[in-house]
Structure 1
């Protein structure tokens, strides 16, 4: 398969008005450990990592090492030094037996752990004859299309000659790579092929502006809209960094869910835009991404089902379970749904205080070194059903009624530890580095053209109370520079003054206070509880470690009748530094730390954050 912007480009190609090249992808190298020239392959990958532009906004790299089992892995990362260190630690003994499906499954797991909405490219490097797998094509096809997050996996395969002899099976490599099989005459040429594949990724990853997305779809650079051809998918629109160009990304809802444009969320079928009463007073069946599973919608209520072992594949055309040798998915016992297997993957989510959160669940993926646990949210209006391993309980326990996870733990925590740009909270939000922002001494420097963007906070309901704390120093005398900004919440600073602000459902409110000036570290806290906006600004010492003085930011009353006024929901990323679609000048200076709390009922004053 050729790498492109997934389904939407093909569907909407006639609408494209503009395109440019942008190099961004996650690449996983699947190294056959039975290669007797494995050192040369490792050296090629090491050289590729050092020569290729690798960052969170460009190509990121991971690797798996396998024979007939996974021997080692390197999680996908943009940290070059860490990648090289782990690569050195994984120079493993040669294996003997080889199964290609093992490597592809392991690569698929690494992609799904990261769950980024970028092209996913797997590169198999082999010099050996693998064990025969009769269902290899079916396994590979299913894995290529089963990635979480709406991105399929593109596979390249490199057959490396050994002593000028072809020991691999070219037909199998073509099955795996679907036309992307490459024959390499010697392992010394492998690095050049890695770079050629990366170049192909860059040239085929087309960024477009088109009527698919327009400025009317965006707020602060981000927006969401329905896919006109597929209700199981939706389109994310966003402004290209520091440009008027609009990028659109075709994304998939989670298995069994459909898009609702009003909610801008994926929901069960009866609540979707494409629902036309198919299961009002009757039963309607539709398929899962897993070949042996389906969904049963009866009288507007959705439940999951599994085909029996005697007919293991669900046919979406006839809407029946059929006899098939192509489906390897098993989840049934005596024609009844068996939940034991799914309960090993999908589990209830218990908060640290041992209270169950009904609106979230755990996904346990991978094995051994690639094992991971992710916390996922159910669709709006649904709770997790542990007996059926899905979010099929409707309108029972609202999310807002559940006890928060450690009431005052951060929902977002960025502190640039080890000079890395990572969210250290339990949310693990993806942070896009645009410009890029440089990081040194565990502090980030913004020059007025760079920014960090956190798309997780687009179209989000800021559960109240909301608190945000930022530690920074401006190095420009410009006023009202945007230190942190969303369409609904912002902190600006400059020329000896800081301002905090919120946009609520009844209007905008802000408050400001004097503070120390240019090149001096300070810490600002914004606090909004639904009735008042308040804050504090702290002057710090030369190193930014100790508090010298603290000044309250005057309280602004928002609600005079004590009714909670929610923060306005808006389509826009949380931006740190330079803005897209904002009304304030870009920030010039250094940022040491950003923290955000939602729903903290224990701490009720800005002075306590």
Structure 2
């Protein structure tokens, strides 16, 4: 990602000679616009409730360009990813496919959606500001400047065509919704933030009426966990625990899954012949991590050499996370190596440079836990896509030559940290900092153990769990 996700930019407006302020010149009308679907725990899991390619462009041949996230070859996705084990494939302006090995035997390509105001940019392998991307499916290439069209992301947002035939993001004033025929109009049901991917307001027992604008999604007979996007010309999955409701034009909670618990996207196991992810949700790539076993506790762990060892999780690349939980257990050895070592980080994101010694100058993570081997502290970092929010940074002590359990939780309002030593004299410390918005999307995978040669972790790790929800 190149920028933050508040896409109403004054500088951009000056460049394109278009007013990017929230629209306020509104005429009240009787139409009501439904607001959008419930914000899920993971933007990526919501798999595409917006696409801006119009139906008249869907016949254009898709020349899929791939950008790989690994240098290794082979695996189930070798054909789709041109010899690589995983990759990202361009689909249209706002949608892309993430292909990765599932259960080490099947290539799974999941359709993903960029945040509002961004288009997929295959040149940098991430979602980028729409005006920065020359997308061949941009509707404004065939529309006159000043033309508007709905974003299909939520009820308030839309795009306007610039003089340079590029799509520019806009958002109606609070209390209003966008209608293709009238523009921004008064609405009592459109109650959604500009960056939220919602479609309908719900109460405990009822739903509001279906939106009066056209629904671009169709149900698939016999598969209520999927729907067909007629604009993107592709089948798409509902988030886990939801089913597609044609009358609402969205995926909504399935009453049969109300008991669904928060489960990990990543649950690394060091037991067995190789290091694997026990969760089927995400592919992991292990590099130069050896396994060891404690004879005393009969538990296996990963040994990180402080140079090239890492575990990469591509699943979280280009994903803005409204919620996140990370649980780890590590053993930091009092030995040679870099002072500041990465325990876990998404390394490069749209975050501003941190300008702190714990983060290498070329790295811009939006979430990280960094080990300070000199002061015996863990630094917790958080950076959101909310332009008005301050970044969150705090430190907590840990014990050297002892196993430590560490937890990071982000709930959309606060960044929490906890460190607990696992020796006989167990101690626990906690910290927190306010942080609003979503954790800014990264330009690559989440990495355990290193971002670069100068920050590699030296020690042992026996627990790695990552959730896109909140669990205690």
Q: TM-score, normalised by structure 1?
A: 0.38
- Higher normalized contact order (CA 8 Å, seq sep 6+, divided by chain length): 2
Rg comparison, structure with higher value:
1
